Amino acid sequence: MRSMWAAAFLLRRLRVEIGIALLIVGLVAATSLVFSAAPRLLDRVSDDGLRHEIETSGPVQRNLQLSTVSVLPDAEDSLEAVNELGDGFADQFPAVLRNAIGGRQLAFTTVRFAIADPPAYTTFVTLRYQSGLDGAIRMTDGRLPASTGDSLAQASFGLDPAEEPPPPVPPVFEIAVSDATAAEIGVGVGDVLFGSADGADPLIGRAFQRAPEARFEVVGIYSVTDPDAEAWYGDRALQVVNIGGTLDSPIAFATGLVAPDTLDGLVTAQMPLRYQWRYLVDPARLDAGQEEALTTGLQRLETEFQTTSSDASLATGVVLRTGLLDIVERYHDQRAATTAVLSVAAIGPFALAVGAIGMIGILLVSRRRPSLELTRGRGATGWLLLGTQLWEGLLLAAPPALIGWGLATLILPGRPSLASAILGLLVCLAAAFALVLATWPAARRPYGASDRDEAPPLRASPRRLVLEGTAVFLAVAGALLLRQRGLAIADEEVRFDPFLAAVPVLATVAVGIVLLRVYPFPIRAGGWLAARRRDLVPVLGLRNVGRHSAAVALPLLVLMLTAAFTAFASVVSVTVDRGQQDSSWQEVGADYRIDTISGAGLSSQIDPDAIDGVQAWADALVDVAAPFEGQSNQRTSIYLNAPDLAAYTDVVEGSPASLEIPAEMREEADPTAGTPERPIPAIISRRLPAGSVPINPGAIFQLTVRGQPMTMEVVQVRETFAGVPPETAFVVASFEQLAAAYRNPPLLPSAVLLRGPESIEKDVATTFAEQSASVRFTSRHAVYRAMLEAPLVAAIGDGFRLTMLVSALYTAIAVIAALTLSAARRRREEALLRTLGLSGGQSLWLTVVEHAPSVFLAVLPGLALGIGIAYLLAPGMGLSAFAGGGTLGLRIDWLVVGLVSLALAAVVALAIGIGTWAARRARAADALRFGDD
């Protein structure tokens, strides 16, 4: 009965401390909401990341194509037979892939036909039908082709050589060609081309006894409205002519579009045709939860079909062409890296939440000490106190934790998340355990052994010293381990590791432990000096710091952890953002870049000066495969980037792409240069084409520029150059020097590089599109925005910024709660001191003196510690993967650091104001009521 009375007495205190109970309930509910929502938010980001990775990949990579070269039996409806065959192949796909298919396209291609008496030069024409082109082309002359009902003559494959073949009757096939093709081979609407099947076509593989002949009537000319549309599937055969042969004897390989019903007339010759079934993947039908099934299904498909990464026109059997497995594997690595880095961000708020709840528990028990002593005196055992505190903790933690988890599920609907429920349960258990742990010293202490004031932490038991030493050792070991190997766990794959993710928090706690051991000495010294003064406030404030260590030390730890983590998060966020900006400069080479689609010279219509807002511009010659000879008998290619260096310096001035140009490349252009006697100076990459010997400054090599061999001399070796793709061997030369040495002038630029603000992006794109239809526009600003929009990359910056905000909120709650919980003790002191003449202003300064040391000892060292942790650990976090790769230097935004300092100071000032207001409410008579708390 005595035990039940004691338990009832302890539980009855919730009614008296309703404000504190509501504070704990709100803190637990908010923590449960945050950490229950985190896995669901990560799932949503992961789903968006997978879909974004698929959407931004090319159509060849993200879709599936099955192709075969075969001879179909002659039938009335050959097209239907081909579609049924494609449906049968789709039925073999795993369920996850079948469900992801959002559409299907069909294409068939004939052998090439040699054109007799071509209008321009040697010409071959291939017939092709390709579905889905309605929105990708626009008829500029004539009409789309239709089926004429003619059939291609029977090929002489199976005829007896001794028999006389029947005389040929060339059928007529209607075709449409692109405007670029029509201009290149010199045809127009109404022209009729006579051709015969080319027996040397690899699609056939052997010569005809008598080649089938046909006539091709051009009935329409179309323009390509979207050269990058998914319907083209990365194949430009229907857009432009492929030029082969030599400069003296060029050969045009053209492709004509035919009607789908033409297939019936083509199969009569029993010649092989190439059939392609393209299965279009709808990213919206996939999510990260299907990643494992998707990977397994794609691997199974690769075992069932032959696979290729290029055109399968020469392969036999059914060939699968897709890059979807590579996309999923790349996404898997990116997601693992994102999860690992975000885990570092999530540990900080979680530690702050646990610390805030634990701090409130410790201060709450300290406030309840008189009532606990009274209960012990009436027969309550220590285990009864702990059991009662456990029930109280569960009563205060379980309902709000459940509410927080429910709100997270309601706010972020989606796939069921076991991690969300587990984290909500952990928050509940952590809160209850923290309250029990805070009660443990008071419950296990012998009756009557408690002192009125707490001793400063100058002396500690051996057990506590061992625990603190272990914490410091773990922090040092974790920092060294993370610095040495990073977040890569096995096979260089970045994965989540709770210990490594907690290293920044462990390091901060370790420094906080050391600081707590040291801070009493300057406080005592300050109290001794203050005692020599005549005023009362400084000495009372500093002595209160020493007498009530928990009320000061615990907020100090919270403040230090917040300051350190916030500084660390700001450095990481700024570093990733600046790295993304640098990467956009490296990719484009300027704010805006205009390239010719064909790689030939730019049109004379291009005029950058016609655009308002262009600050500088430079011409450039770009050849992605310039013939390169670094040694005798070497035949390979290299990336040539030759800007007008004088103008290009103005384009990139003050940007991450700015460069120092060697003096030799700034010299006046020499028409006699480019010979072994007068080589053209050039910059070359440290990475060279395969089979090259190392090239150092002063070395000579040969480069063919637009068909003319030129001798060049290395004047500088660089790792990278803006505008050149990473991991690419390159040569950089002066466009002016190349143009002067070119024997067949003029040497036309193939690109223009511009400098200008983001506000003129639309005007630049529109103007150049109007000036020439054969240019490709690239914006550095768009590249940077694309990086920010990539979900798994954007999650890093957003995650760290969100955790900074959550950490600041926890700090505000913790500090205000600490002052609120110590208000009872301060009210007694204020009431007593007011009887001695303490004024309101002195009361405020007394509170300031109490907490100013903790602010200075926590915020400033915490900020420095956070920056130091970032410099120590960030290189091992793999942040370069989120900024386009390459070397990523850490950046500090001192404005952000200053704002963090001001925000923390404002939080403390607000808490001091609330504490002072609460203390001023005390009446002088309250000084006589010491035992009522």
List, for residues 219-235, the tens digit of each pLDDT value. 999 988 888 788 888 88
Q: Which amino acid is at 342?
A: L
CA distances from 340 to 327, 328, 335, 427, 857 (A): 20, 18, 8, 21, 31
Number of neighbouring beta carbons within 10 Å of residue 760: 20
Spatial separation of the C-alpha atoms in residues 192 and 176, rounded to whole Å: 12
Give the tens place of pLDDT for each residue, 291-340: 888 999 888 888 888 776 555 444 567 888 888 998 988 888 888 878 87
Do 552 and 747 touch, CB atoms closer than 8 A?
A: no
Query: 627 or 394, which is more confident?
Result: 627
Q: What would the pLDDT profile of 365-386 be if each residue is shown by its tens digit?
A: 666 666 666 666 666 666 777 7
**Across 411-420, 430-439, 761-770, least confident range:** 430-439
The percent of residues in the chain predicted with pLDDT above 90, rounded, is 5
Q: Please report the pLDDT score of residue 453 as a whole number.
A: 47
Q: How far apart are CA 697 and CA 163, in angstroms?
A: 71
pLDDT at 222: 92
Q: Which pLDDT score is estimated for 159? A: 41
CA 926 to chain centre: 60
**How would you class 895 by CB atoms within 10 Å of its CB: exposed for 0-12, middle for 13-18, buried for 19 or more?**
exposed
**588 vs 776: CA distance, rounded Å:** 12
Residues 292, 295, 296, 299, Cα dihedral to 10° = -170
pLDDT digits (tens, 9 = 90+) for 175-198: 999 988 888 888 989 898 888 888
What is the band of 794 on the pLDDT scale with cuts at 50, 70, 90? confident
E-strand stretches of 93-171? 101-116, 123-130, 137-142
- Are the beta carbons of 9 and 394 closer than 8 angstroms? no
> CB–CB of 6/384 below 8 Å?
yes
Give the pLDDT band (50/70/90) at residue 444: low
User: CA triplet 603, 606, 607: central angle to 5 degrees?
Assistant: 150
Distance CA 809, CA 566 (A): 12
Residue-level pLDDT at 244: 73
> Cα separation of 814 and 683, whole Å?
59
Whole-structure pTM over 0.95, yes or no? no
Note if the bond before 145 is cis, omega within 30 degrees: no
Residue 452 belongs to what H/E stretch? Answer: none
Lowest mean pLDDT of 17-31, 285-299, 495-509, 612-626, name the range: 495-509
pLDDT (tens digit per residue) in 84-131 = 888 888 888 888 888 989 888 899 888 888 888 887 788 899 999 998
Q: What is the pLDDT of residue 343?
A: 77
Mean pLDDT score of the chain, rounded to an integer? 77
Assign 33 a pLDDT band (cuts: 50, 70, 90).
confident
CA atoms within 13 A on the CB side of 661: 20
Residues 6+ apart with CB under 8 A from 900: 563, 566, 567, 570, 804, 863
Mutual angle of helices 520-530 and 503-518, in 10-degree steps: 40
pLDDT of residue 733: 92
Q: What is the pLDDT of residue 821?
A: 62
Give the closest residue to 552 by CA, choosing from 523, 530, 528: 523
What is the Cα gyration radius of the chain?
38
Instruction: Assign 539 a pLDDT band (cuts: 50, 70, 90).
Output: low
Tokens 């260590």 belong to residue? 549
Distances from the Cα of 887 to the Cαs of 578, 580, 639, 663, in angstroms? 12, 12, 22, 27
| Residues 555, 850 contacting (CB under 8 angstroms) | no
245-279 pLDDT, tens digit each:
665 677 888 999 998 888 887 877 777 888 899 99
Bridge pairing between strands 319-321 and 242-245: unpaired
Q: What is the rounded average pLDDT of the residues 154-162?
A: 47
- Using CB atoms within 10 Å of the CB of residue 793, give its burial: 0 to 12 exposed, 13 to 18 middle, 19+ buried: buried
Pairing between β-strand 172-178 and β-strand 192-197 as defined by DSSP bridges: unpaired
What's the CA gap between 400 and 420, in Å, rounded? Answer: 15
Task: Report the run of H or E that residue 720 belongs to, with start and end.
Answer: none
* Token pair recorded at residue 75: 């039938």
255-264, 407-416, 726-735 — which is least confidently predicted?
407-416
Q: Determine the pLDDT at residue 4.
A: 56
The 10 Å Cβ neighbour count of residue 635 is 9
